[in-house]
């Protein structure tokens, strides 16, 4: 596969992506059980590849422990990667060290999950937003003050709130403060790691709409991590589904939600509850039994095989490769197209 075709299949764009990840691996050393036991490693991310096109949003979705956040942290160089490439605008940041890495950090910023613990409680709000500008030497002191005021206005915070400390803000306001801090350095890529999961539902909608507005106004590119399929459907142009450190399916949002191909994706979508009782009684649910395999000693073949209702011997022997099933829709499964028996949802 040539480079242009590879980029198109991975990210759905023929232009140069803002973020290009290839064969990313992250492993963590595990404490030995005994003095003479062999050292073990936890396979957190195992050969992940994707692209994010300019001005677009790619969602990473999957259950807890699937490797979503670890992938994002490695892409931002906040944890070390064992292997692979992470290119931002064509520069492989995994090869950078020292001052080049420090200067390149302005191009990638993080919005963290918990607005309560991600802000320095000893700094005033204006200092929190200004800190990236000071540390990276961006703009003059006067321009930094103007930039902070501009960001407060953009995220819906009042000018007089610049003097407050984080504990004087509500949860939603703290997350707005975190968003302002992330945008201070004018990044090319913003990684949103479960940015609304710690907030009330009504506040979640406000923050999500704010993120979408800021993306339109500033041409931002998002890598969006969430376990909430409703949030992913609202925010993302394209969705990658992760399971035990690997991407098992990737497609444009509408195609993934209307025509999922991987058994795990089908089970995820069938588990989404509905507020409409009539819809729930008409729908069918795919139940997954058992637990995910150990990331310390992953099995050969498909890692979903032990829980998959349509798995055959080949699934346990051969690892399915993530490949185009149709243009822009990639899936890693030997049994694409085989129907899955589902159970009707019983009405209460």
- Measured distance CA(11)–CA(50) in Å, rounded: 6
| 276 in a structural domain | no
Average pLDDT for 170-186: 96
Domain holding 119, by residue range, is 3-29+41-257
Q: What pLDDT is attached to residue 198? A: 84
| 151 in a structural domain | yes
Q: What pLDDT is attached to residue 270? A: 85
pLDDT band for position 348 (cuts 50, 70, 90): very low
Q: What pLDDT is attached to residue 68? A: 95
Average pLDDT for 41-45: 93
Tokens matching residue 164? 């407050």
> Which of the two residues, 24 and 290, has the higher pLDDT score?
24
Q: What is the CATH number of the domain that holds 156?
A: 3.40.50.300
pLDDT band for position 342 (cuts 50, 70, 90): low
| 340 in a structural domain | no
Q: How many domains does the chain have?
A: 1
| 168 in a structural domain | yes
- Measured distance CA(256)–CA(102) in Å, rounded: 37
Instruction: Let me know: does 310 contact 342? Beta carbons within 8 Å.
Output: no
User: What is the pTM (predicted TM-score) of this model?
Assistant: 0.88
Instruction: Let me know: does 322 contact 337? Beta carbons within 8 Å.
Output: no
Q: What pLDDT is attached to residue 161? A: 97
Is residue 156 over pLDDT 60?
yes
| 264 in a structural domain | no
| Strand stretches in the chain, DSSP E | 19-30, 40-52, 57-61, 83-88, 91-92, 108-111, 189-193, 221-226, 238-243, 246-252, 284-285, 323-326, 329-331, 343-344
Mean pLDDT of the chain: 88
Pick the range with the lowest mean pLDDT from 31-35, 59-63, 82-86, 326-330.
Answer: 31-35
pLDDT band for position 103 (cuts 50, 70, 90): confident
Is residue 6 over pLDDT 50?
no
Is residue 281 over pLDDT 60?
no
| 269 in a structural domain | no
Query: ∠92-96-97 over CA atoms, to 5°?
Result: 170
Q: Which residues pair with 48 in a beta bridge?
A: 24
| 84 in a structural domain | yes
| 139 in a structural domain | yes
- Measured distance CA(161)–CA(217) in Å, rounded: 23
Average pLDDT for 296-322: 93
């Amino acid at each position: 596969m040539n480079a242009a075709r590879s980029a198109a299949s991975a990210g759905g764009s023929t232009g140069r992506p803002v973020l290009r990840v290839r064969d990313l691996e992250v492993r963590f050393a595990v404490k030995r059980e005994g003095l003479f036991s062999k050292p073990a490693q936890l396979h957190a991310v195992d050969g992940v590849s994707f692209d994010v096109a300019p001005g677009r949003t790619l969602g990473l979705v999957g259950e807890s422990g699937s490797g979503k956040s670890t992938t994002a942290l490695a892409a931002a160089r906040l944890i070390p990667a064992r292997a692979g490439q992470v290119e931002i605008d064509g520069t492989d940041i995994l090869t950078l060290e020292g001052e080049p890495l420090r200067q390149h950090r302005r191009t990638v910023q993080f919005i963290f999950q918990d607005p309560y613990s991600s802000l320095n409680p000893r700094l005033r709000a204006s200092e929190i937003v200004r800190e990236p500008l000071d540390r990276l030497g961006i703009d003059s002191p006067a321009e930094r003050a103007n930039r902070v005021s501009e960001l407060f206005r953009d995220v819906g915070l009042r000018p007089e709130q610049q003097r407050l400390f984080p504990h004087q803000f509500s949860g939603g306001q703290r997350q707005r403060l975190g968003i302002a801090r992330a945008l201070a350095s004018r990044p090319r890529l913003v990684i949103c790691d479960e940015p609304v999961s710690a907030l009330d539902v009504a506040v979640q909608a406000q923050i999500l709409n704010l993120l979408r507005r800021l993306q339109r106004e500033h041409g931002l590119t998002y890598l969006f991590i969430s376990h909430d399929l409703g949030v992913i459907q609202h925010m993302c142009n394209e969705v990658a589904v992760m399971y035990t450190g690997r991407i098992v399916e990737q497609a444009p949002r509408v195609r993934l939600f209307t025509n999922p191909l991987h058994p795990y994706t089908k089970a995820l979508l069938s588990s989404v509850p509905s507020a409409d009782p009539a819809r729930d009684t008409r729908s069918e649910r795919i139940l997954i039994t058992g637990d995910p395999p150990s990331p310390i000693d992953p099995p050969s073949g498909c890692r979903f095989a032990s829980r998959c209702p349509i798995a055959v011997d080949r699934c346990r022997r051969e690892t399915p490769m993530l490949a185009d099933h149709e243009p822009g829709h990639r899936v890693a499964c030997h049994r694409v197209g085989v129907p899955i028996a589902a159970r009707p949802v019983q009405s209460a």
